[in-house]
Chains A and B, each alone.
Chain A
Amino acid sequence: MCPGSETLTRPHKSALERLSQSETRKQSRPEVVTAERPYFPRRFGGRERRFVCNPEQNSNRVVMSKRKVKDVHLPVGECVPKLQEILRERICHQQLPVRPEGVEAQHKHLLELLRRTAVHGESNSVLIVGPRGAGKTMLLKCVLRDLLQDKEVQKNLLQVHLNGLLQTSDSIALKDITRQLQLENAVGDKVFGSFAENLAFLLEALKKGDRSRSRPVLFVLDEFDLFAHHKNQTLLYNLFDVSQSAQAPVAVVGLTCRLDVLELLEKRVKSRFSHRQIHLLNSPTFPQYLERVRTQLSLPDNFPDERFARDWNGSVESLCEDKLVQEVFQRHFNSSKDFRSLHLLLMFCLSRVSVSRATLRTSDLLEASRLCFTDAKANMLHGLSILELCLVIAMKHLNDVYEGEPFNLQMVHNEFKKFLQRRPNSVYNFETPVIMKAFEHLQQLELIRPVDGPTAKSQKEYQLMRLMLDHSQIMEALQKYPQCPTDVRQWAMSAFG
């Protein structure tokens, strides 16, 4: 026990009581209800705020729709920005769907679990595991939204949101927990006390409570695997320990993309975890994938201009039935089933819709797909000077001859000289320092990389390097290179320099 706990707990007594449920709380401190969940309203309220921001626009629309109930025609100049606004919010801001698709079972499971904590005061722990972009956060947010529709739960449940990227150590995490629970040792937003004091205080607060009296706390740990890298896993140990013993009811929900996350946990932590996992493995079929495209792009029914919405939805529909377009989507589907990469593609498409071209065309999609699939290294090779390209070709030859052994500048220069000797009146007779400058530029672009780290102390011309390019990449880049001299191209083709 912490030596200062005696003095510590006394002033904090009221805080501890607040954690436990009391009847008079609501009357005495009405403002607490809103302040209780400091992050929550903003997390979900982004949308409402946006509409509050421009009330005149909002009211304007209401008046208009009242005046002409059935058929409203807005000029295209107003429809397209509206369309952009709706679709952009859907794609970029990851707006919540009304109903989770394809994960109904998981949704039900999680909702049931959290309700048991919120209503019956049962302690639970669960891990949501799935690859990136599989909708883990979305699932959790949906569940929370549905859960909070219950008035009882809304009044009862306390939430703590932590993220492994932000709370990089246990002491930071602990301070944030204290802050989010609005405990008394947080004045304003400053938190007092050392790590040990904070921990003792928090545990004291959680231990004081029991199943019947305390308000349940929901801990959401985003990027859960990063928490497992904290020293001694103190935070995880304590959270799971509270969830195992008959103390204040807590639910610990971890979100992670690592399948082997349980291997990261220490034995004592692992034994306290309930081993309940929810897997979100993305496996849509291609028709489902196309359906997703359709739902992502189509306009809702309450769009102000019905005719425009109809036309747009029709164009989306016909786009999805186009053979060429389906091929493109099939290609994307084959490279990744993840919806977030689909969003990238749709974002490029959407950016090509403007007032003058208010429909999606096949060409837009082809162009967007081309942008998504371009090889970045080939793009960079395209911008190299001829001298640098010659050096890359020399490296390619060295790689071919010596089977992937690392090389240094001297060898590359030697190889390049061999090429020059065969063409005595070539224009590429550059001095060594110029070649060295070109070589350094290649290193700066990370097209070549030193074998033993950048800090190795050896002369520049003898530092061993590896080429970070593929044989086919070089040949392809050579085909596309603008005004490539014929002798250089022939040299690249020839098997042995």
Chain B
Amino acid sequence: MTAVLQQPGYDEERLRQAAEQLPSREVQAGMLLSLMGEPDQYSYPSIFIYGHQASGKSYVMQVLLRELELPHAAVSCVECVSAALLFEHVLRSFFGDDAASRLPRSPSLSDFVRVYRQQCSQSPAKQTRYIVMEKAELLRDADANILPAFLRLQELVEDNITVILLSEIVWDKFRPNTGCFEPLLLHFPDYSKGELHQILSRDRHPSYSAELYSSYINILLGVFYSVCRDLRELRHLAALNFSKFCEPLLEGRAKETDTHKLWRNIEPHLKRAMQTVYLREVSSLQWEQMQQMEEKECGALRGLSAHTHIELPYYSKFLLIAAYLASYNPARTDKRFFVKHHGKIRKTNFLKKNEKTSNHLLGPKPFPLDRLLAIFYSVVDSRVAPSASIFSQISSLVTLQLLTKVSHDDQLDAPKYKCSVSMDFICAISRTVNFDIIKYLYDFL
């Protein structure tokens, strides 16, 4: 089925085993292997592999290095929050715990290279050593010297070592200002629809036929392929929804050959899954439970985003409403909305050239505290004293992240704010206090 990888210097049996584990990645694995060369030959100092999420970058590397038993250190840059962890990990995987303990406290790159040289002179490399760094884009945020140094590590430590960087982001975004040693660039292309189908069909359920599972995958890809090409996500969705797909078979309502019937059964279910499980509104566990109790409609369970209702004090509600109005209405229109006996002014009189686009498209605008209070007093019916509690409510709205402070923290006399709640949220709030907010919004005039 799969073409056997070929490269002299490696055990044939192992190569065959590795090839079996790499469906639809033969070309990439073969090329990588030929770039790596025979184990005792020099390899290029650094290789940069990029490609989309779940296109098998680290998997291919891992399978090759593990199956062929090459000396390597697999590093995830997410885990290595400090360079010290990175150095320690690399030394430990090449030379054992001993070497790692020789690093001083808070080691610099210079210490790492020194210890590496020492260890390397004691146990020189018979084979190329590999350092595989996943999520290499995080190296850009580390110290400025880490990335350029690792790219030319072969030259610095004078050992037969190759650094392989894996990332989702293209190399152009990595290059430091003053340049660096350019790595070999290798692209892992995305899986085509056929390849996805092939890979997903591999993990079929043992009690059903392969054709059935394959047709199920076909339906799944038909629904999700235009939105999601991530193999991991698709595999997860396939595993979740398969029991629902098999339901008519278990109940005897359909046979395995009734593809159309099965399709009619599963398709609306999958569409619902896209709105819930795919967005992690409903957790996978909840989704499975929902499938078991049939009569209850899927999605009837409230997802995460349905829990937006929040209980606020009376004045806080009005403060938030006032903030929303101040954020989404231009200041010129305040007079027309909030002053009594203003006379009728038509919207066209207000319309300026740049205000044709609605404010709800551009987002909230910042406003000063005075304006917020002025609007607040005019929308609240009763007389409210500007007590300390009103001001503390404003600042607690900021800590709840319903308002955002725009100005600097040190500006005490005239702070500026922005309202950061959605339209639906503010409508729900204003309903609870019997305030018709739509009437006061300039966009909906």
Listed in ascending order, the chain A residues whose CB lies under 8 Å from chain B are 39, 42-43, 46, 49, 53-54, 77, 80-81, 84-85, 88-89, 91-94, 132, 163-169, 172, 176, 189, 225-226, 257-258, 340-341, 344, 347-348, 351-352, 354-356, 371-372, 374, 376-377, 379-380, 382-387, 408, 410-411, 414, 427-428, 430-431, 433-434, 437-438, 444-446, 457-459, 461-462, 482-483
Contact = CB atoms under 8 A, between A and B. Distances in A.
B226 A428 contact: yes
B184 interface: yes
A458 B417 CA distance: 11
A81 B182 contact: no
Contact of B363 (A385, A408, A434): A408
Contact of B124 (A49, A132, A461): A49
Contacts of A355: 8
B43 A92 contact: yes
Interface stretch (B169-177, B261-269, B369-377): B169-177
B305 A433 contact: yes
Nearest to A386: B226
Contacts of B7: 354
Interface stretch (B14-22, B185-193, B198-206, B318-326): B185-193
A444 B137 CA distance: 11
12 contacts: A49-B124, A81-B9, A85-B41, A164-B145, A226-B145, A354-B34, A376-B187, A379-B51, A380-B52, A383-B52, A446-B173, A458-B404
A392 B406 CA distance: 30
Given A165-B148, A434-B279, A383 B34 contact: no
| Among all A-B residue pairs, the 8 with the closest Cβ atoms | A462-B363, A383-B190, A376-B170, A351-B34, A166-B110, A383-B52, A386-B226, A165-B149
B170 A163 contact: no
Q: Which among A376, A414, A458 has the greatest number of chain B C-beta atoms within 10 A?
A: A376
A301 B383 CA distance: 101
A323 B358 CA distance: 61
Nearest to A52: B124
Q: How large is the interface on B (under 10, 10 to 19, 20 to 34, 35 or more residues)?
A: 35 or more
Given A81-B38, A354-B34, A410 B360 contact: yes
Interface in B24-43: 31, 34-35, 37-38, 40-43
B420 A444 contact: no
A387 B43 contact: no
B158 A43 contact: yes
B226 A81 contact: no
Given A382-B190, A387-B227, A434-B227, A88 B149 contact: no
Contacts of B279: 433-434, 437
B118 to A, nearest CB: 7
B145 A168 contact: yes
Interface string B197-236: 0000000000000000000000000000111110000000
Contacts of A354: 6-8, 34
A188 B207 CA distance: 67
A344 B187 CA distance: 15
Contacts of A434: 227, 274-275, 278-279
